[in-house]
Amino acid sequence: MEKRLVVWTMGCRVNQVESAQLRSMGIASGYRLAQEGEQAEMVVINTCSVTGESDRQARQMVRRAVREHPDAKVVVTGCYAEHDPEALLKIPGVDKVLNNAQKLSFGRYPTIPIHAPSATSRKVHAPPPSSVSSGEVDGFSDRARAFVQIQNGCDEHCTYCLIPRLRGPGQSFSSDVIEAQTVQHLSQGFREVVLTGINLGAYGRDGHYAESLTALTKRLLKLPDLERLRLSSLDPLDLDDAMIDLYAHEPKLADHLHLSIQSGDNMILKRMGRKGCRDEILSRIAKVREVRPQIVFGADLIVGFPTEDQAAFEQSVDLVRQGKLALLHLFRYSSRPGTPAADIPQRFCCDGSEAKSRARYLKHVGASILSETMQAALGHEVQVLVERVVDGIGIGKSSQFLPVHFEVSEAVQPRQMVTVSLTDYQRDPAAHLIGKMCSRL
């Protein structure tokens, strides 16, 4: 009998890569991917645990899977499964809870014990990918860009974060394997590749491979079929002179960088256990913008960290404005038991309603900068990676990671790169640029 598989994903780009591998391994094990509305024989939920809200959403997603696929085997894995397997096992209908080290063992799912060991009792060593089959590339078949994971884990131990416990220490993957994965993605028609990892800038520092992120990036940029290489997220201090030089001389590098900043206040950064200070962050941003003026920056920022008063929050607002950070990922602080920040007395914690208000305000500031960025792009021709075509309108993103809608003048398909002349932009319901297609690359 035909077996059908559903893989649902929460959270980071690394989870997306691993879910693509799960789909591929499922196909290799005799499953086919279920179509929308079809009942599945197995549902795998790859969870996130970056905040308390992520935990709640994970439980909600598991209950939805049990409800929508009542006859399926339901397997829960990922960081929330690592963090609190007992909570997941209490949900009726869950068959297995697997930790991150067990995640990529699809063929062994029937034999893996139902109860994953507690994350607090051991170190996690999720296995790096060792090879790529055509099936693993097919795991991205519904996407316009391919993701390549280059490392796992983190050694930074920020005071608010559980990820080092849930993912283990930093572990770089073989540059030869990474290049082989990238080449295979390109052979399948992908033209944009995104390098991703839990702590991308730490690539090579753990001693597994001598090659640095800059050297690896330079190596991949030489691949002839690659049209655009994007780095998923970096700590600002990882933008050293060698990496900045790449942005000065390598046009294949995307005109976009997403930075893990978290706060613009020096005291809050120190209490978070973050490296560097606001002046260093702004200096690195300025140096990159000096060699590539058109670059667009995004950032992760946490609002309402314990002891963040109004003055500290305004420092974050000022950093967003000075750095012209247009694409913000905002998180309201979520206390994670077992982290140093969770031990800060409640009287020093930001009120929930105040944190919501600050997040709304910072979102508004970011939206204003995004609007200015889009207005500055008008009148230019940009290369857009096509993500989909709906009713004669192409939808994709530019090198700056700005969404673009354009009139399609000839048949185009997802993953193709087209030249678009930008003529207008629209604020609502979701901000995007509007243009006309000039040519297909």
Higher pLDDT, 228 or 100: 228
What is the pLDDT, as a whole number, of residue 310? 96
Copy the structure tokens of residue 408: 């399609």
Instruction: Using only the alpha carbons of the chain, give its radius of gyration.
Output: 22
Mean pLDDT, to the nearest integer, of 257-272?
97
Beta partners for residue 437, in sequence order: 420
Minimum mean pLDDT range among 246-250, 304-308, 410-414 = 410-414
**Are the C-beta atoms of residues 332 and 359 closer than 8 Å to each other?**
yes
Query: DSSP per residue over 110-178, as a string?
Result: TTS-SSPPPGGGS---PPPP----HHHHHTTTT-SSEEEEEEE--S---TT--HHHHH-S-EEPPHHHH
Indicate if the pLDDT at residue 10 is higher than 70: yes
Write down the domain spans for the chain: 3-121, 381-440
**How far is Cα of residue 60 from the mean position of the Cα atoms in its chain?**
21
316, 263 Cβ separation under 8 angstroms: yes
For 338-389, the pLDDT digits (tens) are: 899 999 998 898 888 999 999 999 999 999 999 999 999 999 999 999 999 9
Structure tokens at 33: 């991917």
- Residue 111 pLDDT greater than 80, yes or no: no
Q: How far apart are the C-alpha atoms of 270 and 340, rounded to whole Å?
A: 13
Statement: residue 191 has pLDDT above 80: yes
Helix, strand, coil percentages (3-state) for the chain, rounded to 5, are 40, 25, 35
Q: What is the pLDDT of residues 34-54, one digit of tens each?
A: 998 899 999 999 999 988 889
Q: Does the pLDDT at position 118 exceed 60?
A: no
State the helix-helix crossing angle for 278-291 and 241-249, rounded to 10 degrees: 30
Q: Minimal CA–CA distance to 201: which of 124, 257, 250, 269?
A: 257
pLDDT digits (tens, 9 = 90+) for 17-36: 999 989 989 998 899 999 98
Give 128's DSSP letter.
P
Give the per-residue pLDDT at 62.
Answer: 96
- Indicate the CATH number for domain 381-440: 2.40.50
Distance from C-alpha of 303 to C-alpha of 102, rounded to nearest angstrom:
34
- Alpha-carbon gap, residue 232 to 197, rounded angstroms: 8
Whether the Cβ atoms of residue 323 and residue 288 lie closer than 8 Å to each other: no
Q: Which residue has the tokens 């702004």?
A: 282
The domain defined by 3-121 folds into: Rossmann fold (3.40.50)
| Rounded mean pLDDT, 154-168 | 91
- Model confidence band, residue 131 (pLDDT cutoffs 50, 70, 90): very low
- Mean pLDDT, range 77-82, rounded to an integer: 93
Q: What is the mean pLDDT of the chain?
A: 90
Nearest to 218 by CA among 170, 263, 172, 252: 252
Tell me the one-letter amino acid at 295: I
Residue 9 has which token pair? 């994903």
Confidence band, pLDDT 50/70/90 cuts, at residue 123: very low
Cα(434)–Cα(426) distance, rounded to whole angstroms?
A: 7
Strands, sheet with 325-332, edge to edge from the N-terminal-most edge strand: 256-262, 296-303, 325-332
The terminus-to-terminus CA distance of the chain in angstroms comes to: 44
> Which is it for strands 393-398 and 403-407: parallel, antiparallel or unpaired?
antiparallel
Residues 6+ apart with CB under 8 A from 68: none
Contact by Cβ (8 Å): 242, 214: yes
The answer on pLDDT for 129 being more than 50 is no
Provide the b/e sequence for 174-202 (b: ≥16 CB within 10 Å).
bbebbbebbbbbbeeebbbbbbbbbbbbb
How many angstroms separate the CA atoms of 61 and 46, rounded? 10
**pLDDT score, position 243:** 96
More confident call, 115 vs 367? 367
> What sign does the CA torsion over 142, 145, 146, 148 have?
negative
Q: What angle do CA 61, 65, 71 make, to 5 degrees?
A: 165
- Model pLDDT, residue 352: 87
- 115 band by pLDDT with thresholds 50, 70 and 90: low
**So what's the pLDDT on residue 140?**
56
DSSP string, 37-95: T---SEEEEEE--SSHHHHHHHHHHHHHHHHH-TTSEEEEEEHHHHH-HHHHHTSTT--
For the beta sheet containing 146-152, the strands, ordered from the edge strand earlier in sequence to the opposite edge, are: 171-172, 146-152, 192-197, 228-231
Rounded Cα distance between 254 and 192, Å, is 9
Q: State the pLDDT at residue 98.
A: 93
C-alpha distances out from residue 191 to 56, 227, 255, 400, Å: 36, 5, 15, 15
pLDDT at 440: 62
> Is the model's pTM score more than 0.85?
yes
Q: What are phi and psi of 32, to 5 degrees?
A: -120, 155
3 state DSSP class of 347: helix
Distance CA 284, CA 295 (A): 13
Q: How far apart are CA 267 and CA 308, in angstroms?
A: 9
